[in-house]
């Protein structure tokens, strides 16, 4: 890569990134300060000296942080979205935002498909029973995915990757995306929400967190499905009202739930959530710690793609 006229630019990296990011940025002539252990308060004290801020999910880049960053030209997030950044305030200040949703879409697709197959085949239940001295074959009879209709809400990078992963399972994949049209292909059929509510056997979310999608999946939403469904969320926890999911599980309107994200994450906060104990009491619920997009390979791809976008912007 040719060295750019960027010697005066300084980038602060406050999260763990793959070394490829630093290599590519430095090859472009930009100075990188890699401080993955820095705290929010420490960042606030020095951010005024930097032209760019790079993070994953360490803290929220709110108006206080943005106002303190008087030189900031870019904020980059090595992840699928920028929902931990005050986008409106950043844009008002003329700051360019970057993310790398192309970098972890395969990881998300594989992870959520793995959860779905585990739910259908009761893998978590059978594993726990055998470890506790129970050998129950009939009770653990599985359900085949073939012939089912899998409904996706959102058909961007993650939704399209999920559809491709499903293509070998003899399923009908349908998708609704409010902001896209004419995207039907040999992996998916575009539908409107009414048809999705009517046909879905499995619902999988692939949408960003916005003011419009916050608490989208609530009791009213779930009651619109014409038959019981398996429910997957690997997008953002705040999109779903967990109490509504619990009610659906109680009433067998939700046959099983796979949640990689929750409205409250990490301990001890999660254990103190009002719904936590009841949610974990269901054997047909599989929970993972917000790792669907965080594979060994995506660690590299997220950093590489983000670096490519930033270098292109400065060039």
How is residue 223 written in tokens? 């009651």
Catalytic (active site) residue 290: yes
For residue 183, the cross-strand partners are none
Helix (H, G, I), strand (E, B) or coil at 189: strand
Catalytic (active site) residue 265: yes
CB 229, CB 203: distance < 8 Å: yes
Dihedral (C-alpha) 285, 288, 293, 294: value to the nearest 10 degrees? -160
Q: Which of 56, 206, 236, 253 is catalytic?
A: 236
Dihedral (C-alpha) 120, 121, 125, 131: value to the nearest 10 degrees? -160
Q: Which of 10, 35, 40, 290 is catalytic?
A: 290
Contacts 24+ apart (CB under 8 A), 262-269: 262/237, 262/287, 262/290, 263/237, 263/238, 264/237, 265/237, 265/289, 265/290
Q: Kindly report the backbone phi and psi dihedral angles of residue 254, in degrees, each rounded to the nearest multiple of 5, phi listed first.
A: -115, 115
Catalytic (active site) residue 89: no
How is residue 79 written in tokens? 């992840």
Q: Which of 64, 144, 265, 269 is catalytic?
A: 265
Q: How many helices (H) and strands (E) would you count in the chain?
A: 12, 12
Which residues does 36 contact at the CB level (< 8 Å), separation at least 6? 13, 14, 15, 16, 17
| Residues labelled as active-site residues | 236, 265, 290
């Amino acid at each position: 890569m040719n060295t750019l006229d960027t010697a005066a630019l300084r980038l602060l990296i406050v999260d763990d990134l793959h070394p490829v990011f630093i290599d590519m940025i430095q090859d472009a002539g930009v100075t990188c300060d890699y401080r993955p252990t820095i705290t929010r308060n420490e960042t606030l004290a020095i951010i005024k000296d930097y032209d760019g801020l790079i993070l994953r999910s360490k803290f929220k880049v709110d108006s206080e942080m943005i106002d303190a960053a008087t030189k900031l030209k870019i904020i980059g997030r090595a992840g699928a979205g920028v929902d931990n950044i005050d986008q409106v305030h950043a844009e008002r200040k003329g700051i360019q935002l970057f993310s790398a949703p192309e970098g972890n879409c395969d990881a998300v697709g594989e992870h959520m498909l793995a959860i779905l197959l585990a739910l259908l085949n009761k893998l978590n239940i059978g594993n726990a029973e055998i470890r506790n001295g129970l050998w129950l074959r009939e009770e653990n009879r599985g359900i085949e995915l073939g012939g089912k209709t899998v409904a996706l809400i959102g058909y961007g990078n993650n939704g399209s990757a999920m559809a491709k992963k499903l293509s070998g399972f003899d399923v009908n994949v349908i998708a609704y995306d409010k902001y896209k049209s004419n995207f039907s292909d040999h992996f998916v059929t575009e539908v409107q929400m009414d048809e999705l509510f009517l046909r879905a056997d499995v619902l999988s979310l692939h949408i960003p967190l916005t003011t419009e999608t916050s608490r989208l999946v609530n009791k009213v939403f779930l009651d619109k499905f014409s038959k019981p469904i398996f429910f997957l969320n690997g997008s953002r926890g705040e999109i779903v009202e967990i109490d509504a999911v619990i009610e659906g599980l109680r009433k067998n309107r939700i046959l099983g739930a796979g949640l990689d994200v929750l409205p409250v994450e990490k301990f001890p906060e999660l254990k103190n959530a009002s719904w936590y104990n009841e949610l974990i009491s269901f054997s047909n619920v599989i929970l993972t710690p917000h790792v669907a997009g965080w594979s060994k390979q995506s660690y590299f791809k997220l950093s590489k793609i983000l670096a490519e976008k930033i270098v292109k912007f400065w060039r």
